[in-house]
Copies of this chain bind each other. A is one copy, B any other.
Amino acid sequence: MSESDSVKQIAPQDPPLTPRQREVLRILVEEYVATATPVASGTLQRISDLGVSSATLRNELAVLEELGYLEQPHTSAGRVPSLRGYRYFVEQLMGQQDLPAPERRMIMHQFHQIRLNLDQWMELTAAVLAQTSQAAALVTPPHANRAQFKHLELISTHDALCLMILVLQDGSVHQEMLTVTPELDQETLSAASGQLNALLVGLTVDEINDPNRAALQGLTGWKRQVLKRVVSLMDAAEKTAVDQIYRDGLMNIFSQPEFQDASRSLQVVEMMERQQLLQRILQRALDTSGVQIIIGGEGPFDELYDVSLVLSSYGIPNRASGVLGVLGPTRMHYGRAISAVRYVAQMLDSLVKDVYG
């Protein structure tokens, strides 16, 4: 009781909707999504084949508004779905739909054409999502939540500088420039990296720091410095669950009529640029399975007031998993977005399983 007072949820104590009410709500949401204008009882009668008059529909609309599924921008405008209405629509009325086969084929085709290059995967994924869902796409690369050493390479570049390349088990490549006090030639560096590789392969941060590993504890001088940097890079890799965020199709949002108003679009641009916020959102999605839908900033993120997110994780949990999804206006074509996200997530899923198996 107390909970449903603060945040109206679809709760058992509400009377279940009659089949006709459900139908009315469904059609109304679809119509509103398509036209972006409040839906009136007359329109509803015209486009639905319920065989009732507009007056009846008006009564039904009044009930649905009473229950919190609809809102009226002002008297004598049509009705608009509320957040709760969208939620009900998505959960109960929409039905599972798949991407049309030709579209699926096209996406599949694109994924099979590219080289095996993570960066390209991510860009392609974002592009495909944006294109298919007609909204803004967000994608993060696969990531393990425990960093495990795989390979180290030291490459002398110039003077006392060397380039350190660190590869982790999840395939992520990290690079950093190091200054080494004595000038070391490539051979010395290669020998050192060979030695370190043998000692470190397969280890986690904790294992590297284990005081019982005499061989590692015994390292001194510049090699010790290198080891320190390795650990700190691995540490950083573990901490940031979401490293890079690939974006695409921001434009798709701004061409929507509800963002004609500049202040609203400013909000969205701001959001898309706020790395931290996006990271928090995507990280949450990472820990959940299946397609998740955040409508109009339900949940802990009030910053997203008038946008919705459709997110899904992909990959192998904890070993190599990432998030992808789309961001669009609350009035979004959820069916399309969800099926696009689901299909592309599957796509990446199988790619990741092929590679990290």
Contact = CB atoms under 8 A, between A and B. Distances in A.
A227 interface: no
Interface string A100-133: 0000000000000001111100000000000000
A171 B165 contact: no
A163 B356 CA distance: 11
Nearest to A155: B151
Contact of A167 (B151, B163, B259): B163
Contacts of A266: 251, 254-255
Copies of chain A in the complex: 2
Judged by DSSP, the binding face of A is mixed
Contact of A269 (B178, B250, B260): B250
Interface residues on A, range: 35 or more
A117 B292 CA distance: 35
A8 B303 CA distance: 48
Nearest to A250: B269
Interface of A: 115-119, 150-151, 153, 155, 157-159, 161, 163, 165, 167, 171, 173, 175-179, 248-251, 254-255, 259-262, 265-266, 269-270, 273, 355-357
What are the nearest 8 A-B pairs in CB distance? A116-B177, A260-B262, A158-B357, A117-B176, A151-B155, A254-B266, A251-B269, A251-B270
